[in-house]
Amino acid sequence: MADFFLSNLKSTLDNCITELDEIHSMFCRNPESDFTRNRKLSFREYIQFMLQMPPPSKEK
């Protein structure tokens, strides 16, 4: 049951990221040049990377 939920959640999140990738120019400062070079992260990879980052530490 949990495996189905997690795979469904991952699929839904992946679909949402795909939809955002299609309109990524709405989220860029320079839509003509941002996320266009091959050696940089694509918009999709950048969003996936940000979602995988751990939260900041609360220790001070």
Tell me the pLDDT tens digit for each residue of 5-21: 989 999 999 999 999 98
Cα dist from 35 to 29, 30, 44, 46, whole Å? 11, 9, 9, 9
Under the banding of pLDDT at 50, 70 and 90, the label for residue 60 is low
Please report where in the chains the tokens 């189905």 appear, as a residue: 4
- Assigned token pair, 38: 């091959």
Q: Mean pLDDT over all residues of the chain?
A: 86
Please report where in the chains the tokens 């839904």 appear, as a residue: 12
| For the chain, domain boundaries | 2-52
Distance between CA atoms of 41 and 43, rounded to whole angstroms? Answer: 6
